[in-house]
């Protein structure tokens, strides 16, 4: 597994950046960089499960391992979802279960810096290297409005 890191500076306070990332409609906008129509189903509480889904009900389930509002959200990925149902772990899934996807918002003067670190299996690295900057640019656009 590889660890990828992405950063962007946004001219907005941390609470506005947080809203640009995690408010439901905004989340759908920026994650369309990965899959058009993607969304998340969650209580948005630390220790709870979250489902990351495409419009057909496929995706993955994870746990919100850390949540500090306006500062950080960490996900621990667990397994796949098919037809809206969590799937048992198989050999492919076991290769990445436990992978981390961490989001931090750091106040830097009048700016907010978003730092994303994620564990990724090698064959998906190029996809995320291309997609994540687009998603972060959308977060910046939303937060700076």
pLDDT of residue 54: 96
Which residues share a beta bridge with 73? 67, 103
CATH label of the domain that carries residue 49: 3.30.530.20
Beta-carbon contacts of residue 65 (< 8 Å; ≥ 6 apart): 46, 47, 74, 75, 76, 100
Q: Would you state the structure tokens that stand for residue 123, as one six-digit string?
A: 């064959």
Q: What's the gap between Cα 31 and its chain centre?
A: 8
For residue 102, the cross-strand partners are 74, 117
pLDDT digits (tens, 9 = 90+) for 105-141: 999 999 999 999 999 998 889 999 999 999 999 999 9
Exposure string of 77-112, with b = 16+ CB inside 10 Å and e = fewer, is bbbbbeeeeeeeeeeeeeebbebbbbbbbeeeeeeb
Q: Is the per-residue pLDDT at 90 higher than 90?
A: yes
Q: Is the pLDDT of residue 6 over 90?
A: yes
How far, in Å, are 15, 30, 43, 81, 112 from residue 39 at the CA level?
A: 21, 10, 13, 13, 24
| Residue range of the domain that includes 137 | 2-143
- The pLDDT of residue 123: 87
The mean pLDDT value of the chain amounts to 96
* pLDDT over threshold 90, residue 18: yes
Q: Is a pLDDT exceeding 90 seen at residue 76?
A: yes
> Is residue 23 predicted with pLDDT exceeding 90?
yes
Average pLDDT over residues 61-87: 98
- The pTM of the full predicted model, rounded to 2 decimals, is 0.94
* Rounded average pLDDT over 93-99: 93
pLDDT-based confidence at residue 17 (cuts at 50, 70, 90):
very high
Q: How many domains does the chain have?
A: 1
Find tokens 């189903």 and name the residue. Answer: 41
């Amino acid at each position: 597994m590889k660890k990828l890191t992405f950063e962007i500076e946004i001219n907005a306070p941390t609470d506005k950046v947080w809203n640009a990332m995690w408010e439901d409609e905004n989340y759908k906008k920026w994650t369309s960089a990965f899959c058009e129509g993607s969304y998340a189903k969650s209580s948005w509480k630390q220790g709870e499960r979250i489902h990351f889904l495409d419009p057909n009900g496929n995706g993955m389930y994870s746990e919100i391992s850390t949540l500090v509002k306006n500062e950080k959200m960490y996900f621990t990925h667990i397994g796949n979802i098919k037809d809206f149902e969590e799937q048992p772990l198989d050999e492919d899934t076991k290769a990445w279960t436990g992978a981390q996807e961490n989001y931090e918002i750091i106040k830097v003067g009048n700016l907010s810096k978003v730092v994303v670190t994620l564990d990724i299996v090698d064959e998906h690295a190029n996809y995320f290297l291309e997609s994540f900057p687009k998603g972060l640019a959308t977060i910046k656009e939303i937060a700076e409005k």
